[in-house]
């Protein structure tokens, strides 16, 4: 049976009781020594020795009983105060746990915890909805009971990496769910006990399917725009080259160039003799 908590918040130990007993024994021994010496020195050889000894004994019982009552009462008061503090702390812990449970169960993210073997210890409402299984049917089971083998192996590999590295990591996990194929951003970290030893892992997974689709659409649009820009630039360069040829042919014929190309610093690289080629051959 557990002992009661002491005033310091720890539990009452045999040492606490021993201190009370030793205090009582010390007072009793001192009383006997002093009172006997006093009776012998004051009343030896008189007819009052027996009466004095009897009164001394009654006084001893009265005083030591009062002392024992005070010591035990003090210990009980300390124990009761510590017990009340412990009960208040336990109530605070229960309220905190209930608050965390309420937050977890009403979260739109999947929140879960697993032991070192990958078996679920915590399974919030959103996780149950995603896998289409009630929590009581998932607790104590691993991911092989919830996902296809390849996905379960991928999840387990990520979990083991978190446990081995003992730090928080984030992964993108594509999973088959009650909503179809979805992509989740899973933040996972090591789960520790009160002594700091890793006993499993916890995770929070958020559905980012729409975000990934939007990112893919944006990337495709950017690629298409880049292709369009390349085509437009190439066409503009072709027009500049064509105007350069026309201007050069005009100069060769003694006419003023019809196109203003002052913004072009030099003839484009790779141009052949302006008078040769397609235009030169036709003129």
pLDDT tens for residues 137-157? 889 999 999 999 999 999 999
DSSP, res 190: E
E runs forming strands in 83-197: 110-115, 120-123, 169-177, 180-192
pLDDT (tens digit per residue) in 159-189: 999 999 999 999 999 999 999 999 999 999 9
pLDDT (tens digit per residue) in 1-20: 444 444 444 455 677 767 76
Residue 88 vs residues 3, 108, 165, 282: alpha-carbon distances, Å: 18, 32, 37, 102
Give 206's strand partners: 185
Q: What angle do CA 214, 155, 164 make, to 5 degrees?
A: 120
Sorting pLDDT into bands at 50, 70 and 90, what band is 41? low
As a whole number, mean pLDDT of residues 117-135 equals 91
State if pTM tops 0.75. Answer: no
What CA–CA distance (Å, rounded) separates 43 from 53?
A: 10
273: pLDDT strictly greater than 80: no
Give 202's strand partners: 113, 189
pLDDT score recorded for residue 36? 66
Q: Percent of the chain having pLDDT more than 70?
A: 78
Cβ neighbours of residue 255 under 8 Å, at least 6 residues apart?
none
What CA–CA distance (Å, rounded) separates 202 from 231?
A: 51
């Amino acid at each position: 049976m557990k002992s009661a908590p002491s005033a310091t918040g720890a539990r009452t130990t045999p040492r606490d009781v021993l201190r009370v007993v030793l205090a009582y024994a010390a007072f009793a021994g001192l009383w006997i020594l002093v009172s006997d010496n006093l009776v012998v020195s004051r009343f030896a050889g008189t007819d009052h020795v027996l009466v004095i000894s009897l009164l001394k004994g009654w006084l001893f019982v009265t005083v030591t009983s009062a002392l024992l009552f005070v010591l035990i009462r003090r210990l009980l008061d300390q124990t009761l105060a510590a017990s009340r503090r412990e009960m208040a702390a336990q109530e605070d812990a229960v309220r905190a746990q209930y608050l965390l449970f309420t937050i977890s169960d009403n979260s739109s993210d999947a929140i879960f915890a697993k032991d070192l073997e990958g078996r679920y210890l915590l399974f919030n409402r959103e996780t149950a909805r995603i896998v289409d299984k009630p929590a009581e049917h998932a607790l104590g089971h691993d991911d092989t009971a919830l996902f296809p083998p390849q996905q379960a192996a991928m999840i387990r590999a990520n979990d083991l990496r978190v446990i081995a590295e003992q730090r928080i990591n984030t992964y993108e996990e594509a999973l088959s769910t009650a909503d179809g194929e979805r992509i989740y951003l899973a933040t996972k970290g090591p789960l520790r006990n009160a002594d700091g030893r890793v006993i499993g892992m916890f995770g929070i997974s958020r559905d980012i399917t729409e975000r990934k689709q939007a990112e893919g659409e944006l990337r495709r649009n950017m690629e298409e725009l880049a292709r369009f820009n390349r085509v437009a630039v190439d066409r503009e360069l072709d027009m500049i080259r064509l105007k350069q040829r026309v201007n050069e042919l005009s100069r060769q014929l003694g006419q003023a160039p019809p196109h203003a190309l002052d913004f072009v610093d030099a003839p484009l690289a790779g141009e052949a003799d302006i008078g040769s080629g397609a235009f030169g051959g036709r003129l």
